[in-house]
Structure 1
């Protein structure tokens, strides 16, 4: 983008650790004006901003984006949002993402960017917004927010691609994708890498996310403890092998060394607490369906046998039911219903 090009208007929905650092990267590019939507931390953010310690951006005190709101705004036809970025957790039992973001979307104009976990999370967005570009960005950005203090301790590096919307011109999709990456990379300290097939990278992420996350949440052990106490060879590696088999049946061969590679991503010396375990710690519902459920739906459609993942999913659903019930979001049935696996 040239210096004469107006700043792109960006709405970021979900300003925890990841959402805040996405907003920082965009604002510091000098090419975007960010409006952040916050809920639980809105008042504190308005009064004090965020205290940020970032491996990429350094220390930022009382940081704020261009605008802060406590609800998703209605799109202004005169100044529509160019990009709506979703960083909030994708939990269908709790929130309907298309419904939440709908007020801010201008048909044929706004590109929707999903900085969320999960597999095949894009089709429901395309179904709800058939004339809009949908970009997908499975990030590994390590950032956590607590009481207005954000610690960002892992380099902001991710792949971003267009999830093809058959009713949108491919050239237009590509132009929006490349423009977004250019804006995001404008600060020169982050790395948004444009790719042609983002589903490949979502499968790569779910190899790790779909195994370690559920195993840690169910057992309430961190990533190192699960391995030390015998889970690596009995559950983790077999589960990853099953996930790789699903990906291959779906047309994505991740290579013979993918299990070793994903095991090595989190060294046993690093006692890492994955997001699902953090959710259990806090009593929050987890991203069960988009991370593991969607992968198993692909397995059923492709005829792939997944005994380890099937059992993991059943136990994870029980844990999820407990979390939902504690929040008053699930009523215990009077009779136990007969249900399919998924």
Structure 2
């Protein structure tokens, strides 16, 4: 059994699910919470899962990062809209030569972490997970769950498979989490965007679940066009996404249980949207290589309008 300790920053549908699985497997896990802190500190976490339901009656719950112990692995499972908090969170929490595991959507998120902490190993994780938080401390896992992990180096140079990656993978496997090790994190960041850009964006703009987007010929065609445009963006960064991968993502989504994307849930709950990480950063990377992505740019502009309306509403209600 591993003696590595884990800190989970963001105990929601993703961080709560994976963190609970790690604790259930016997690892030392510490959870940072906000609105659910009182409930979880008294009653623990409830996981409903296609792989089997379980409850953790007691967890190490904290409402302030300053109260948490230093840990070997800090898992960033916050939405990227909260990344402005990381300069205060990360330095006191991660040990020297420890690991920061970035389980976030979008592009260039590891670059942000590297500016905050230096003497650590940064690993990116791409989560193919259908999971929702349905109540305080209550997470419902609907489908899938695999994580693809890759090491981060300056400029996103490929790192190959490192010892730290293998150690983290062993811990996750011990918790029953399917793992794939990637030699080139940047290529996999773009591959994840093949799914995230069309489904997150269109689910908000068209008020639709994934199954609805795939049920109509026009929206399915639009999804496919957006996927090929993501592949063009990836090529501008020197990473090739094969046509077969796009077909795999289309097939994968057809087989998926009806799903309301994370961005759609945020929009419905009137929370800020992860527009910059998922849309803005890829557009800027492509534009820096003189590559235009017109359909993604169109969706980006629409989402910026909707996101600003949410943020203005928050300011007016503050």
Q: TM-score, normalised by structure 2?
A: 0.90
Q: Does 1:51 align with 2:46?
A: yes
Cross-structure match for 2:13: 17
CA shift digits 1:51-90 (9 cap, x unpaired): 222233x22235433x1101112676xxx31011111100
List per-residue Cα deviations over 1:272-312 (Å, max 9, x = no partner). Answer: 22111111111111110111111101110111121111111
Find out whether 1:158 has 2:158 as its counterpart: no
Q: Provide closer, same or farther for how the CA distance between residues 81 and 165 of structure 1 changes in structure 2, counting only shifts above 3 A.
A: farther
Which residue in the other structure is 1:84 paired with? 74
1:29-40 equivalences under 5 Å are 29-30=25-26, 32-40=27-35
Task: Give the paired residue count.
Answer: 313
- How large is the RMSD of aligned CA atoms in angstroms? 2.5
State whether structure 2 residue 61 is matched by structure 1 residue 73: no
Deviation, 1:98, is: 2.6
Whole-Å separation in 1 of the counterparts to 2:39 and 2:247: 43
Q: 1:270 and 1:29 mapped to 2: Cα distance?
A: 27
Select the structure that is richer in strand: 2
Equivalence map 1:265-276=2 (5 Å): 265-267=252-254, 270-276=257-263
- Deviation of 1:40 after TM superposition, in Å, equals 0.7
Larger Rg: 1
Moved over 4 A (4+): none
Picking from 226, 233, 242, the partner of 1:246 is 233
Once the two structures are superposed, residues 231-278 of structure 1 have per-residue CA deviations (whole angstroms, 9 ceiling, x without a partner) of 232x32222211111111211111123333322221188542211111
| Structure 1 unpaired stretches of 5+ | 332-342
Partner of 2:24: 28
Matched, 1:221 2:208: yes
- Tell whether the 8 Å contact from 2:13 to 2:133 is kept in structure 1 after alignment: yes
Q: How does 1:1-342 map to 2 (within 5 A)?
A: 7-30=3-26, 32-56=27-51, 58-65=52-59, 67-73=60-66, 80-91=70-81, 95-106=83-94, 108-147=96-135, 148-165=137-154, 174-187=162-175, 189-227=176-214, 228=216, 230-233=218-221, 235-267=222-254, 270-328=257-315
CA–CA distance in structure 1, aligned partners of residues 299 and 94 of structure 2: 40
The answer for the alignment partner of 1:338 in structure 2 is none
Residues 271 and 152 from structure 1, CA distance in 2 versus in 1: closer, same or farther, beyond 3 angstroms? closer
Shift of 1:190: 1.9
Q: TM-score, normalised by structure 1?
A: 0.84
Give CA-to-partner distance per residue, 1:207-226, whole Å, 9 cap, x none: 11011211111222223334
1: distance between equivalents of 2:139 and 2:56? 11
Greater per-residue helix proportion: 2
Identify which range, 243-252 or 263-272, moves more after superposition.
Answer: 263-272
Contact 2:62 2:68 (8 Å CA) reproduced: no
Distance in structure 2 (CA, Å) of the matches to 1:20 and 1:268: 25
| Partner SS for 1:157 | strand
Alpha-carbon distance in structure 2 between the residues aligned to 1:137 and 1:88 = 13
Distance (Å, rounded) in 1 between the aligned partners of 2:20 and 2:257 = 27
What's the secondary structure of 2:5's corresponding residue? strand
